[in-house]
Structure 1
Amino acid sequence: MDCLCSRWFPTQTLMLQISLVLVLALPSPDSQTIKDPSSSCTLKRILGGSVQLRLNSSLGPNIREIEWNWDSEDDEKPQLLVSWKPNTPNPDWYDLEEKHKHRFNVTETAFLSIRNLTLEMSGLYTAKIKFHSGKSQEEVFRLCLYEPIPHPQIQIYSSSNTSGWCNVSLECGTPGNTGNLTVTWLSQGLPRELEQRGTLGPARSSRNLSLSLPLSHFNSRLTCVVSNPADEKNATLHLEDICPQRGSLQSKWLWRGILLVVLTVSLVAGVWIWMRKKMQTGRGRWVHSPASGARLSSYSPGPSHSGIR
């Protein structure tokens, strides 16, 4: 019996210790966290933009106060921003640096708005909601900021036509800072086999692209999409701009030749008509001869003529 007790007592003690640990690990009913995105970005914006932190909790008569604080990645401890209370005309702002005073705003529904975002304004923003019962809960937002993406450009390094196919080598470039960018090539009007082989589509994530395009798909397009978690820009290139079809070029030159012939014929006809009129006008006058003393009259072409008297 003593042996059984000696074996059971350590086991009971261990179970009691585990239970105490689990109880201590559970959140207190007076303070609970609805959302804690400290390990991921819940809000992604570009520098210079704006953001609004919307609460999931509905405003009710049991809310006494909502307090916003900001835990910047550069600061050691969170900074209190503002205290919002229902039925109060103006929120109570804490002391902020001059450069931040005009960037924060609180709406009538206690949402925190931030404009003209700078890199230092990334970090954790916490809304502590206090109730008249003495309980409280928190909503946490992690704001991550990124550089805006400049408009990309597609550069054609080489192109050649062989047996109805256009062989091209392209590059999608963006000026300035190009870190942490994803490049995707998409197509419109081209055979689906190109995407299935990974040549195009979401599986293609490289700035450089070399492929063969069928010239039969004359109205097709290639699009380069450059993106980061907060922004996206694209550039499009038409297939006819990369590799013009020979038939289309011949038809263009044919129409240009026909137009040139028409213009030449019109010009020659106009000059011939003008010269004919000048010749007819010159033949309608007699020459006066002072030596013979004859008095000549003018000749006018028509049904009746006047001769020398």
Structure 2
Amino acid sequence: MDSLCSSWLPTQALILQISLIFGLTSASPDSQALKYPSSSCTLKRTVGASVQLPLTSPLNSSIREIEWNWQPENDEKTQLVTWKPQTPTPDWYDLEEIYKHRLNLTEKAFLSIRNLTMEMSGLYTAKIKFNTGKSKEEKFRLCLYDPIPHPQIQIRSSSNTSGWCNISLECEIPGNTGNLTVIWLSQGLPRHLEQRGIPPNSRNLSLSLPISHIKSHLTCVVSNPAEEKNATLHLEDICPWRGSLQSKWLWLCILLMVLMVSLGAGVWIWMRKKMQTRRGRWVHSPANGSPSPSDRGIYEPSDCCDQQPRPSL
């Protein structure tokens, strides 16, 4: 199985916590890893899936016969089918009704199994017999696991203090009964995150992060040797008011300052024009010796009002 989340998260993703959950207190029959190490399993699948056991030996005229058998866990070996190049159809042995319609042999003599059940795990062996009298075996250990339910990230607590968002999360796995691995991944967070109260074997995550990084997100990845599922939580959903609302208040303050400056400038211009209108009156009657239209202009009060009165005769 490829490395976790290699197709959907960048390599720079920060691993916040790795918690190995080794099942419940009582061992369950679906925990194949309790019986065999994951490294010993040739093929790993979940219940209900399909699998194909491919042979590395090519089909040619040197092969006389191929016989497939199966040894379930803690049980005797069972012969399944025999294939011969001269026979157009494979020769199936008597199988239980539950297995008859789930097994198939391909044109290349690969054993194909569909709708897997937990009982179908075990060791599958293809015995290849050659015309020379020699033979060889190709073995496949099939390990089966219960499907992983979709995890959910539950917010246990959250608070905003002094520009920091404090959160406590839990990666909840409904109906979990098997051995699972839980990994927390992040994207867009600083490396110096403050982690608090993270037990070594827990799905809980507690941390504090600056408000400036609330646009990042956390991902809880749950996996077993056969599959993985994940849930993602956007941190803006936890601390929205410290980020978006604070930005709105900043823009509102800037807008108010612009309006106040514009209003003050308008008032100042209006008052200046009003004063100039009062100081410069040039409309006079011709009978009083006012200047002609061509000589009209703006006169200061000192130009028209500071003349000494003429003495009377």
Change in Cα spacing, 1:73 to 1:38, as seen in structure 2 (3 Å) is farther
Q: Deviations over 1:263-302 (max 9, x none)?
A: xxxxxxxxxxxxxxxxxxxxxxxxxxxxxxxxxxxxxxxx
Matched pairs, number: 216
TM-score by length of 1: 0.64
SS in structure 2 at match of 1:151: coil
Task: Please show how residues 268-307 of structure 1 align to structure 2 within 5 Å.
Answer: none
Cα distance in structure 2, aligned partners of 1:240 and 1:38:
39
Question: Residues 160 and 126 (structure 1 numbering): CA distance in 2 closer, same or farther, change over 3 Å?
Answer: same
Q: TM-score, normalised by structure 2?
A: 0.64
Runs of 4+ displaced beyond 4 Å: 197-200, 250-255
* SS, match of residue 229 in structure 1: coil
Distance in 2 (alpha carbons) for counterparts of 1:194 and 1:90 = 64
> Deviation at 1:89?
1.6
Question: Share of identical aligned residues, percent?
Answer: 78
Unaligned runs of 5+ in 1: 1-36, 256-309
Cα distance 1:143–1:198, how it changes in 2: closer, same or farther (>3 A)?
A: farther
What is the DSSP-based 3-state SS (H/G/I as helix, E as strand, rest coil) of the residue aligned with 1:233? strand
Is 1:110 equivalent to 2:109 in the alignment?
yes
How far did 1:254 drift?
Answer: 10
**253 and 178 in structure 1: CA distance in 2 versus 1, 3 angstrom threshold:** farther
Quick check: 2:53–2:112 contact (8 Å CA) kept in 1? yes
Contact residue 215 and residue 245 of structure 1 kept, 8 A: no
8 Å CA contact 2:214, 2:243 repeated in 1:
no
Task: Give the superposition deviation at 1:249.
Answer: 2.3
Q: Which residue number corresponds to residue 43 of structure 2?
A: 43
**Partner of residue 189, structure 2:** 190
C-alpha separation in 1, matches of 2:249 and 2:209: 24
Aligned to 1:225: 221
Deviation at 1:162, TM superposition (A): 1.8
- Quote the Cα distance in structure 1 between the aligned partners of 2:91 and 2:229: 40
Find the counterpart in structure 1 of residue 311 from structure 2: none
Evaluate the alpha carbon distance shift between residue 245 and residue 63 of structure 1 in structure 2; reply closer, same or farther with a 3 A threshold. Answer: same
The equivalent residue for 2:140 is 141
Higher relative contact order (CA 8 A, sep 6+): 2
Q: Is the 8 A contact 1:149 1:227 kept in 2?
A: yes
Q: Residues 26-69 of structure 1, C-alpha deviation per residue, up to 9 Å, x if partnerless?
A: xxxxxxxxxxx998111100001010000111222101111000
Aligned to 1:123: 122
Pairwise mapping of residues 1-309 of structure 1 onto structure 2 (< 5 A)?
40-75=40-75, 77-194=76-193, 206-250=202-246
SS at match of 1:99: helix
